[in-house]
Chain A
Amino acid sequence: MDALIEGLSSVGYIASRRIATALYMAVNLQKPILVEGSAGVGKTELALSTARLLAHPLIRMQCYEGLDESKALYEWKYGKQLLYTQILKDRMGEALSDAPSMDAAMDRLHGMGDLFFSEPFLEPRPLMQALRQDDGCVLLIDEIDKSDEAFEAFLLEVLSAYQVSVPELGVIKAKTPPLVFLTSNNVRDLGDALKRRCLHLHIPLPEAALEERIVATRVPGIEATLTKELVAFVQSLRTLDLRKAPSISETVDWARALILLHADSLDPSMVRDTLNVILKFEQDIVAVEPQIVELLHRR
């Protein structure tokens, strides 16, 4: 487990024990892993880092309302199929012209290979691509809660058996099951069937110590004192009643912004100028602005 945490940190992801345990279980049990947490806590980043750690390709599928299997799984290359039929029509006359009777022509027709619905005309989409990787890959199904329920049901086959059925071709099964991450922002409750097939991991907002390490890793060249001040400030912001509390990605962005501005410690005017990096709603900014000095002195 410690090796896994270390490995993740070597590719720039500071994981807590719970995260590492869940990841370990996912690899061991070959089960997809459902990652929940508020926006910006590093759900997607976890999948990216895991792919880097395992040196597997990452295949990413962004979900949205109206996503269906022709966009997620496969599509036929209609244009090429159309050309194929045209060529076929031209050639057909030649091939069948010397047939003595209609029956013989039909027999000959049946004898020819049928290419119309076959692999060359198949346009693989993310799910199919992931199943066809021979050496395994990391499949990231992002924001599954944004997709429709019908799509969720369709995913069940892929997630539990790592196979898909294409009506014209039959069942396509993965040679090496991919490591699957699903992320969710809890826009809607996911179905029980889907939850049952997954391991569950909830990533909370991190503690101060962990967040300091994350900032230090993500923003090389930041000074330790600034990191401390910055994280303490963000942590105290989270205790306020805001519409959207800043999460890790905002902290990291802010740290980068401060580096760009050559700030080596936090002072009220600097904070006021850069507040829009961590707070994304006008009301929040208005609510926090008068309290900046107090928040800075609270430590």
Chain B
Amino acid sequence: MQHQLEQFLRALRAADVKVSPAEAIDAARTIVAVGYADRELFKDALCATLAKTRDEVDRFDQTFETFFSRDQFHLPPPPPDGERKGGESGEPSPAEEAAANSPLAQMLLQGDSTAVAQAMEAAAERAGVGEIRLSTQRSRLTRKLLDEMGLAQIEQIIANARRMPDGEGLADRLDAARRALAAEAQRYVERQHELYASGSGKALREEMLAKKALNADGGIDPVDLAMMQALVRKMAKRLADRYSRRRHKAHRGHLDVRKTLRRSTAYGGVPFEIAWKIKKVDKPSIVAICDVSKSVAAAAQFLLTFLYSLNDVVDHLDAYAFSGRLIPVNDILDDNGVEGAILKVLQTIGFQQTDYGKALEDFVENHIDKVDRHTTVIFLGDGRSNFADPRLDLMHLIQQRARAVIWLNPEPESYWGQGDSVMYRYERFTHVAKQCNTLGQLERIIEDVLRTYVPH
């Protein structure tokens, strides 16, 4: 059972339930305490020790069911006794004798599904099916599993029986059983793959995705879109966690002499109660302005996804989107799901000719009061103005009012200043301007931004 438990923990880890060695020990102690007799009890007790959040409880339930479920074998039932003897003589034919010598053949012929299932577990262990990593290993491992069970021998018996005059019946029965066995082995390997490999495969794909350029041709594959959104949300959440932590910090500062002296009067001038100066924590706010025009079409969806997630986790976020004109999108982000919100923003103002000058004008005219010395302004865009007036004066105004201005550009730095890009001219008015076109980069940058420029 020790081994079984370890396998189960491995499956849990593959399903993204964090199990530390300490918890593994707890699990073993749990099993000692509750025993295996009651399946529900066993499951609930393990669940309490191993799964530590609601999501993990769901994943635990799922893994538990997959791991501890065994399909019933559907072997052809053994024929009635009289028929099996067959022929006039009571003597077994050589083929039957060979079958009697093979334990697997016996199990199959007698339809003993429990024994076959046990044999399969043992064979799987020898074949190392549990080590499965990739989906391409499935067929090889199935073959290996069957070999370990002694399939070659069965095949030989069948071939021999076919050559015998009265061996057809036996051969047919064995053949049917062999096929059932092969199918079951395939299902078994499939299940193992689901348990151990799907998790690591997912991690691998997420890693690839984080490195993929977002404005590559065709953008993000629709297949990966859901995963990307999940990834972005995870990132935003992690950032918000870390960031709220910093906000709570900085409570203890220097000794507040005045308060301490005042409190000490109660003790005859002896400073027993000591008061500390408390740093006032600024309520930070972020203004995000996102370009959704044609030139950044590939990246726009991703930038909006990030904006959406950030809106979920940061208290004070004012979000704007523009291509020709600029509109506030806070309401859209609040009222819709992520896909709906992105679609709606793009429908409203997306994919028109970019006009940075006009957008800045709109912003300064209507929303400049949102920017004060506590505000960090984040621009997400490529800085391509279609040769219109970039209105650097307005950019300068924003820079003067804001605590920090950050520009994230999906284009590589070598493209800045080429063609209609005025990125270099805008860059003078930003505190930091960075290339940002993979999820990995985005996360790193945003983290730097929050640490350096957001007041805390």
Contacts and interface: CB of A to CB of B under 8 A. Distances in A.
B230 interface: no
A25 B40 CA distance: 14
Interface residues of B, number: 33
A189 B67 CA distance: 29
Most central of A21, A65, A82 by chain B CB within 10 Å: A21
B204 interface: no
A297 interface: no
Contact of A149 (B23, B44, B248): B248
A28 B34 CA distance: 10
Interface string B4-31: 0000000000000010101100100110
Contacts of A199: 48-49
A200 B52 contact: yes
B41 A78 contact: no
A21 B23 contact: no
A292 interface: no
B44 A189 contact: no
B270 A25 contact: no
B124 interface: no
Contacts of A238: none
A244 interface: no
Contacts of B47: 18
Given A21-B44, A22-B44, A22-B48, A200 B267 contact: no
Interface string A1-21: 100000000000000011001
Interface in A179-229: 188-189, 192, 195-196, 198-202
A31 interface: yes
Interface residues of A, number: 30
Given A82-B267, A82-B272, A189-B241, A200 B51 contact: yes
A31 B26 contact: yes
A25 B33 contact: yes
Contact of A78 (B23, B44, B267): B267
A249 B241 CA distance: 31
B210 interface: no
A36 B33 CA distance: 24
Contact of A29 (B30, B51, B52, B57): B30
Interface of A: 1, 17-18, 21-22, 24-25, 28-29, 31, 33-34, 36, 65-66, 78-79, 82, 148-149, 188-189, 192, 195-196, 198-202
Given A24-B45, A66-B251, A200-B52, 17 more contacts: A17-B44, A18-B44, A18-B47, A18-B48, A21-B34, A21-B44, A21-B45, A21-B48, A25-B30, A28-B29, A78-B272, A149-B248, A188-B241, A196-B20, A199-B48, A200-B53, A200-B56
Interface of B: 18, 20, 22-23, 26, 29-30, 33-34, 38, 40-41, 44-45, 47-49, 51-54, 56-57, 241, 244-245, 248, 251, 267-268, 270, 272-273
